[in-house]
Amino acid sequence: MSEIKYTEHHEWIKQEGNEITVGITDHAQQQLGDVVFVELPEVDTEYASGDEAVVIESVKAAGDISLPVTCTVTAVNDALSDDPELINNDAMGEGWIFKATLADGESLAELMSEEAYQALIAE
C-alpha cells in the first residue's frame, strides 16, 4: 500500500515499500507559476536528511527541494528536461521529479498527512 506524505516546504513523497517518489505539490506549482527549468539530481547520488536535491526555476522564482529523509536516487523524470511544464500540468502525477530508495530504517512517519497539509495551506 502506498501513501502520500507532505512536507511543510510543499513537497509530496509517495512511499511504496522502501522506494519513494518525490515531487512538489499542486499548491507549490501554483505559487511558483510557469516552471521553466528543473535541475534534476544524479542517479545513484546519496542524500542525507536536509540536503538540497533539486532546483526548480519558474518565471516568478527559484526554489529548492530539501529532503526530509536519507535516500539514494534511483531514477529521475528525464521528461522534465525537455518539458518542465509537466510540473504545472500534473504536479502530483506525470510531474514527479525523482525516485529514491530510503536508507535503512528511514521513515516518513513524521511527515504530514494530506489532511494536515491541507490545513497548513489553508492558513
Please tell me the distance from the alpha carbon of residue 32 to that of residue 29, in angstroms, as a whole number. Answer: 5
- What CATH topology corresponds to 3-122? OB fold (Dihydrolipoamide Acetyltransferase, E2P) (2.40.50)
Q: Which residues contact 104 (CB under 8 A, 6 or more apart)?
A: none
- Residue-range domain boundaries for the chain: 3-122
Please tell me the distance from the alpha carbon of residue 107 to that of residue 114, in angstroms, as a whole number. Answer: 17
Residue 2, judged by CB atoms within 10 A of its CB (0-12, 13-18, 19+), counts as exposed
1-18 pLDDT tens trace? 568 999 999 999 999 989
DSSP states along 60-97: S-EEEEE-SS-EEEEEE-THHHH-TTHHHH-TTTTT--
44-103 pLDDT tens trace? 999 999 999 999 999 988 889 988 899 999 999 999 999 999 999 999 999 999 999 999
Q: How crowded is residue 5: how many other Cβ atoms within 10 Å of its Cβ?
A: 22
| pLDDT value at residue 38 | 96
